[in-house]
Structures are given as C-alpha cells and as structure tokens.
Amino acid sequence: MRHRLKDVAQRAGVSVKTVSNVVNGYQHVRASTRARVEEAIAELNYRPNLSARSLRRGRTGVIALAVPELDLPYFAELTRHVVNAAGAHDWTVLVDQTGGAIDREREVATGIRDHLIDGLIFSPLALTADDLGAGADSTPMVLLGERIEGGPADHVVIDNVAAAREVTAHLAGLGRRRIAAIGAQRTAEGVSTRLRLAGYAAALADAGLPYDDRLVAPAAAWHRADGAAAMTALLAGPVRPDAVFCFNDTLALGAMRALHEHGLRLPEDVAVAGFDDIEDGRFAVPTLTTVSPDKAEIARLAVALLAERLGGRRSGGEPSGREGGSPSREISAGYHLEIRESSVGRPAAAR
C-alpha cells in the first residue's frame, strides 16, 4: 500500500501542511517537529509522488534527448553523460534515435509536445534552422553538433576545424608526408565532415604539404566497415599513405583492422588518428590517438541551458525561455588531443 501525505501527518500528529513543508525542505519548521515527521516518513516508507508534484508545478520532470545513432559509441557515451547531468535536477531522460532521417527529426522537433517533456536536447543531421523555427513551440531546446548555426535554440558545439587541424598537425609533426583523410561526405548533412576536412587541409598547408584528392577517402557512414573499406581503397590507390586521420574513432578502428589485414604495422608503416575518444579506442591494439571532446562538459552545458530556460531567468537576471524572446546562445565545449600508440608507438619502457 502506498502511503499518502495525510498518513504521515496522522502518524506524526501534525498537519498535512507541516509534512509538506518538511518534504519540500522548508526551513522554518521547528527541529523537534521536523524530527517527528522524518521519523514517521521512515516508519511508513513514504515516497513523494514526484509526478503529481511536477504536474502541479507545470513540469513533467522529463526531458528528451534525440541523437542520430545509438549504435555509434560517441552518442552512447554522450547519452550517459546527459543522463548523469539531468540526474542533478531530478530529471528523467527520454532517449530517441532519429537515424538522421528528416521525417524522424521533424517528428522529434515538433511531435513531442510540451505537455510530455519539459525540454529537448537534439543532435540533428537533416533539419535546417528554418525547419526548426517553423515547428517550434514553447518547449526549450538545446542543439548539439554542427548541422545548424544561428538557429532558434541554444547550441553547444566544439571547434571542429581547430581540433582537426591539431590532430593533422600532430601527424605531420611526426614526419609523415602522405597524410590521408577518411570520412569525406558530399551531402548537405555532412557539416562535421566539411569542418574536419577544412581543419585537415589547413594543417597540411601549415606543414607545407600538398592537398591531394587521391588521399581523401569518402565514407557514406561513419562505421567500422566504412573505415575498413576506405582504408583498403587507399592502399590500392596510386598514393600509399603513411598516416591517416579518420573523422571519427569507429572509422579509425575499421581502418586499423584493414591495415592489419594487409600486413602493415601501426604506427611504423602507417600512423592512425581518430576523433571522439570512445572507450574502445583506449583498449584497441595499438591504443588510438584521437581528438577527445569533453563529452561530460557538453552534457553539463546542454542540461544547464535547459535548466536556465526552464527556470525562467538566465544567470544575469534577464528573462529566458523562447516565449520570452531572449536570443539563443552558442557555447563552445572543450577538447584535447589524446596522443596514444597508434601514432607514436609504445614507450620503450612498456615494451
């Protein structure tokens, strides 16, 4: 039997209002009264009805997170961080997968109405800023990824150009002169691709190396199989690379497998680097050099932006929320380059 607030009040010999004050952390309750109420709560194993409380406050206590692919380890790991960050607000996270399909993304953006969720964290691949603006209601939204800039919602990003430039410069700094790139896409949705390709090209120019289209391998998807196929194609091409920058870690893991199957050594024959710092890369043989976005910070920033919008005011005191007309913000999260064995080999002491 689920005990109610009045059952606790009857057991403690106080009013229902007093029990409510204790449960909600109201400070001005006599210490002896608080102790009596807390004892009654423990004896009855009373648990507040959070759903009813949220509805009374005009909140469901639920936010949604929509990502393209949960099979990709980056999004799985990011989801864990979002759930952890949301837990600090006692929020439940409803997770959805769009597959990057425009119909599914449109459904997420417009079909989860504000009576079901309090806010949405969304990583779109197909929708545009106009698509989001056309279907927006008053539900706060935070965007992730690079697909939409200057859109109608707050946005958490990392500097993809700078990150790709840094990892490519690392490979060039090792003396590699035929640095390939795996992951090129020519679709409208491939914004991350274009940014990472721009950083790659800039680093080559910085190092005095030519940009060679024959060393840029496409990948329709960023999965392990695509990385293996692209690496195999590069090895069969007219210019054999001595290093490769893969636009995510799953591509890099596939490329490493293809190199192994062709009897090539990492990093002696070909150095490999990726992007995302997924856990698999830390346990690969060799361990994977990669750009490490601060996924925990991305999650904290996204949840904090939602919390500010839901709270009605920003930290500076100005009105918040879409209906309040406050402008959207773009906030950058950090990253660093994690240098591991796939580019520099194992330290002599570890051999």
Query: Domain-by-domain residue ranges, the chain?
Result: 60-157+295-311, 160-293+337-350
| Mean pLDDT value of segment 253-277 | 98
- Say whether pLDDT at 317 is over 70: no
- Kindly indicate whether the domain formed by 160-293+337-350 is annotated with CATH number 3.40.50.2300: yes
| Beta-strand pair 335-338/289-293 | antiparallel
- Tokens 């950083």 locate to 199
Comparing 108 with 263, which gets the higher pLDDT? 263
Rounded Cα distance between 171 and 247, Å, is 14
Rounded Cα distance between 277 and 340, Å, is 11
Percent of the chain with pLDDT over 90: 61
Q: Evaluate whether 60-157+295-311 and 160-293+337-350 have a shared fold.
A: yes
* pLDDT band at 53; cut points 50, 70, 90: low
| Mean pLDDT value of segment 48-61 | 61
Rounded Cα distance between 309 and 221, Å, is 35
At residue 73, the pLDDT reads 95
CA dist 37 → 8, 20, 275 (Å): 7, 10, 54
Task: Give the range among 17-31, 53-67, 79-93, 172-186 with minimum mean pLDDT.
Answer: 53-67
Task: Give the range among 51-55, 206-210, 340-344 with minimum mean pLDDT.
Answer: 51-55
Which residues contact residue 263 at a Cβ distance below 8 angstroms, ignoring those fewer than 6 apart?
none
At residue 201, the pLDDT reads 98
What is the phi/psi pair of residue 137, to 5°? -115, -160
- Say whether pLDDT at 56 is over 80: no
Tokens for 109, please give them. Answer: 């953006």
At residue 87, the pLDDT reads 92
At residue 320, the pLDDT reads 41
Tokens for 292, please give them. Answer: 């490490």
The architecture in CATH of the region 60-157+295-311 reads 3-Layer(aba) Sandwich (3.40)
| Mean pLDDT value of segment 26-44 | 88
At residue 240, the pLDDT reads 96
| Mean pLDDT value of segment 297-311 | 93
| Average of per-residue pLDDT values in the chain | 87
pLDDT, tens only, 336-348: 999 999 999 987 6
- Say whether pLDDT at 76 is over 90: yes
| Mean pLDDT value of segment 196-217 | 97
